[in-house]
Structure 1
Amino acid sequence: MTPPALLLVGHGTRDEAGAEAFRAFVRQLGEQNPGLPVGGGFIELSPPPLADAVRELAGKGVRSFAAVPLVLVSAGHAKGDIPAALAREEQRHPGTSYAYGRPLGPHPALLTVLERRLDEQVSLEERGETTVLLVGRGSTDPDANAEVCKVARLLWEGRGYAGVEPAFVSLAAPDVPSGLDRCAKLGARRVVVLPYFLFTGILPDRVRQQAEGWAAAHPEVDVRQADVIGPEPELAELVMERYRETLKGDLRMNCDSCMYRVKLPGFEDRVGQPQQPHHHPEDSSGGHGSGHHHDHHGGHAHSH
């Protein structure tokens, strides 16, 4: 009997190297898990679109899918766009069913990789005099931004760094230069800029460029730059953990501070917003256009 397929869902990027890193990771998981149908697709910007990944697996006889969003935090894409897209695929392929998992972070396995990325830049002896600027994507969803702050705190606890400060590369404050300003005002003379991203892409490149610009204007501060998380063994195992818990129905999405359920100050109008399927520009079936490559405001469903 064919087990439920592992369907990895990515946001997409205009950076070909980043898109290929996602596709390579999907292939890697397939090779590491023989006998398990594995596929992956994007909701926008990059091929293959999610619809193609589902069509390929369905063509091989797959009828049950466990979809794992390959994203670090629950923002508009994970809360609204991806489940809406899965609902659309269920309509396109009668007889198929979809269980929806939760995003990857924060998780101790990812903290281990982040620490490894920092170790590539500073020695153990340098930790006490090193401040880390953890830079997330940024979102219009305050819950998603709070997750990045949580990761910063978890990364600081017990590891001996002088401090770990959060920042964002888009849509949220503080931005990278402001985050570096804060580190300097707190007395930092060595800062490691740590991008909180799975793979390379336009936004991690932007983080690097902004940090380089700030460092050039502040030569008194030693600014070093760490790499993205990448296709590490811990990431592969975490995805499989999310797959297994999805099959068990152990989803535990972060509903307590979700702006689609709770009236947060300034976001009261988001409560109960309906979902809209996310249209991929290469998907000819209709939906909204490809220009929406920023954070979306799709509704939040908890009955996936």
Structure 2
Amino acid sequence: MSRPPALLLVGHGTRDAAGAAAFRSFVDQLGAKSADLAVGGGFIELSPPPLADSVAALVEAGERRFAAVPLVLVSAGHAKGDIPAALAREEQRHPGTSYAYGRPLGPHPKLLTVLERRIDEALAGADRADTTVLLVGRGSTDPDANAEVYKVARLLWEGRGYAGVETAFVSLAEPSVPAGLDRCLRLGARSVVVLPYFLFTGVLPDRVREQAAAWAAGQPGLDVRNAEVIGPEPELAELVLERYRETVEGDLRMNCDTCVYRVKLPGFEDRVGRPQQPHHHPDDPSHSHGPHDHDPHDGHGSHDHGSHDHGGGHHAHAH
């Protein structure tokens, strides 16, 4: 029986040391639980190790086939362009290697289960029926990515008995966290749980908490609580392995109906067919860093320069 492809986890990167450490710890934990599977992980920018180092180590250990799973929640610029470009570059660097590319993690019932748990922890026994949840995503200039966060909010609302689930973003998109809280107040919320839609801690989840606290200080009559990020829960590990199996089997379908790189959406017509290019990592300076659509504080913003692959492989198409 041939050796299974190595599992390659690809993260974006963060300037927050704890967030980067959480990613590395998750990769190590997943590797320890998967004794029959080679597991590695790296970042496309900002944090060590760069993806190039992780791939090089796996190649040195004898791996030639890789199934890459993007450790991101929505299909924004990272998943659609940056990561496929990085994988294409690694294939050029290591002749004889091959890469299959998986899809982002959310939305998925396993993630919804963890989000529900985070809300319950914040409620600490308080009534769900009196609670409005404000789900806060990272935010993107990709409308499809922002729409995915709204889908998660609706799925979270269904059948769980909350008074409502509203949506906001912490960067690059509206409504902002304060605007989202204003909306909850106008809708008659008695208590609000601010729920960050992030995998691990970082600059932007911290900003969500700070903005919510600043807003709540001006509304002493409203109970505003902050939930924790998703974190390295067992469900996350199970979901990554599920995405790995999908990738190996090759039956993957990305959403193309509202993709700005394929479809002319109002205000985004110039992005159709825009070519992808590799991302910059400070520890991998062999290529140039083009203009990106960053949140200047963290590098967690969405990039909108890449087209993406709509099948199981990693190569993008210039639509």
TM-score interval, smaller chain? over 0.9
User: Where does residue 234 of structure 2 map in the other structure?
Assistant: 233
Aligned pairs, number: 304
C-alpha deviation, 1:255, in angstroms: 1.3
User: Where does residue 190 of structure 1 map in the other structure?
Assistant: 191
User: Where does residue 23 of structure 1 map in the other structure?
Assistant: 24
- If the length of structure 1 is used for normalisation, what is the TM-score? 0.98
Q: State the superposition RMSD in angstroms.
A: 1.3
Q: Distance in 2 between matches of 1:21 and 1:67?
A: 19
Residues 155-184 of structure 1: CA distance to partner in whole angstroms, max 9, x if unpaired?
Answer: 000100000000000000000000000000
Paired amino acid for 1:149:
Y
Question: Within 5 Å, which residues of 2 pair with 1:37-52?
Answer: 37-52=38-53
User: Where does residue 154 of structure 1 map in the other structure?
Assistant: 155
User: Where does residue 145 of structure 1 map in the other structure?
Assistant: 146
Q: Which moved more, 1:141-150 or 1:249-258?
A: 249-258
Residues 253-300 of structure 1: CA distance to partner in whole angstroms, max 9, x if unpaired?
Answer: 111111111111110110000011112111031231798533211222
Paired amino acid for 1:238:
L
User: Where does residue 212 of structure 1 map in the other structure?
Assistant: 213
User: Where does residue 129 of structure 2 map in the other structure?
Assistant: 128
C-alpha deviation, 1:123, in angstroms: 5.3
Point out 4+ residue stretches in structure 1 off by more than 3 angstroms.
Answer: 289-292
Q: Distance in 2 between matches of 1:181 and 1:213?
A: 13
Kept in 2, the 8 Å contact 1:281–1:289? The answer is no
Q: Distance in 1 between matches of 2:192 and 2:104?
A: 28
**Secondary structure class of the residue paired with 1:242:** helix
Q: Which moved more, 1:120-129 or 1:215-224?
A: 120-129
Identity value in percent: 77
Kept in 2, the 8 Å contact 1:280–1:290? The answer is no
Q: Which moved more, 1:184-193 or 1:294-303?
A: 294-303
Q: Which moved more, 1:249-258 or 1:88-97?
A: 249-258
C-alpha deviation, 1:35, in angstroms: 2.0
Paired amino acid for 1:288:
H
Paired amino acid for 1:215:
A
Q: Distance in 1 between matches of 2:163 and 2:175?
A: 19
Q: Distance in 1 between matches of 2:290 and 2:50?
A: 14
Gaps of 5+ in 1: none
Equivalent position to 1:301, from 293, 308, 317: 308
Q: Distance in 2 between matches of 1:298 and 1:89?
A: 19
Q: Distance in 2 between matches of 1:141 and 1:73?
A: 10
Q: Distance in 2 between matches of 1:297 and 1:146?
A: 16
Does residue 252 of structure 1 match 2:222? no
User: Where does residue 169 of structure 1 map in the other structure?
Assistant: 170
User: Where does residue 86 of structure 2 map in the other structure?
Assistant: 85
Paired amino acid for 1:56:
A
Q: Distance in 2 between matches of 1:128 and 1:145?
A: 27
Q: Distance in 2 between matches of 1:221 and 1:179?
A: 14
Q: Distance in 1 between matches of 2:288 and 2:34?
A: 34
User: Where does residue 73 of structure 1 map in the other structure?
Assistant: 74
Q: Distance in 2 between matches of 1:124 and 1:215?
A: 21
User: Where does residue 63 of structure 2 map in the other structure?
Assistant: 62
